Amino acid sequence: MNSPADNALITFDEYTELIGIDKENENLKKDRIIIFINSASQQIEDYCDRKFVTPSVDIVEIFDGDGESEHFVKHRRIAIDTTPSFEYRISETWTANDTGSYPITWDNDKGKIWFTKFNRTFYRGKANWRVLYKYGWIQTNVPADLKLICAELVKRATMLLDGKEGLASESFGDSTTSYNLSMALPDNIKMILDKYRAVSVG
């Protein structure tokens, strides 16, 4: 049986709940749905150029010192239950930042870390700093709009595999939902994902 990937934005149970299908239906292809969940989660990560589900261990990001006192991590946001740290490189040796002499603080949601002493900066250099931290949210706390988009992409993949192409629609009571299956990421999905895209700051 296929397993959810570490970066899966939704679980199988969440998908069936969001789409409104019976997870106990014996005709439901659970393995296929999990593959689609993993694929959709990766597609969202690739588009946003960042990751969302908190890893089990710190990751390491190496960056160029720019002479400024603050740094934005790539996979904003910084996970709540994590303490980021810096190391700097002199020659080939990495040395931990002395937080006693040069303390840091951070903004989890913005992914921003900075020195709180006015005279401390990320001195200029090429690949001479690295930050260790955990990013994102635990799976159950991933933002609802990301979960909904993931479920939508899984549903679209299911419809395509079932032989539907181009424009398709489904009726639910008095409402009808249309799908343009020829578009990998429709504009309405991109509009939501764009607020999560990694961008250069400063």
Q: Give pLDDT tens digits for 23-72.
A: 777 777 888 999 999 999 999 999 999 999 999 999 999 999 999 999 99
Residue after which a domain boundary falls, among 114, 136, 158: 136
Task: Indicate whether 81 and 131 sit together in one domain.
Answer: yes
Q: Which two tokens stand for residue 29?
A: 């292809």
| Model pLDDT, residue 81 | 86
Q: How many domains does the chain have?
A: 2
Q: What is the pLDDT of residue 118?
A: 82
Instruction: Report the pLDDT value the prediction gives residue 185, as an integer from 0 to 100.
Output: 81
Residue 160 has pLDDT above 90, yes or no: no
Q: Looking at 108, 136, 164, which one is the last position of a domain?
A: 136
Q: At a CB cut-off of 8 Å and minimum separation 6, what does 176 contact?
A: 169, 170
Considering the domain boundaries, does residue 108 fall inside one? yes
Average confidence score pLDDT of the chain = 87
Say if 6 falls within a structural domain. no
Q: Is residue 202 part of a domain?
A: no
Residue 186 and residue 124 share a domain: no
Q: Do residues 38 and 20 share a domain?
A: yes
Backbone angles phi, psi at 41, to 5 degrees: -65, -40
Does one domain contain both 159 and 102? no
Alpha helix (H) residue ranges in 3-142: 12-19, 30-48
Share of the chain above pLDDT 90, in %: 65
In-domain check, residue 201: no
If residue 144 lies in a helix (H) or strand (E), which one and from where to where? helix 144-161
Q: For the whole prediction, is pTM greater than 0.75?
A: yes
Specify whether 112 is located in the same domain as 83.
yes
Q: Are residues 64 and 164 in the same domain?
A: no
129 and 171 belong to one structural domain: no
Same domain, yes or no: 167 and 109: no
List of residues 6+ apart from 139 with CB closer than 8 A: 8, 9, 11, 53
- Which residues constitute the domain of residue 63? 59-136
Check residue 188 and give its pLDDT. 87
Among the listed ranges 86-90, 119-123, 152-156, 178-182, which one has the minimum average pLDDT value? Answer: 178-182
What's the mean pLDDT in 181-193?
78
Domain limit, last residue, from 117, 136, 155? 136
Torsion of the alpha carbons at 42, 199, 142 and 6, rounded to the nearest 10:
40
Question: CB–CB of 65/124 below 8 Å?
Answer: yes
Cα distance from N-terminal residue to C-terminal residue, the chain:
46
pLDDT band, very low/low/confident/very high, at 186 (cuts 50, 70, 90) = confident
Give the CATH number of the domain where residue 123 resides: 2.60.40.3410
The pair of structure tokens assigned to 74 is: 């790539």
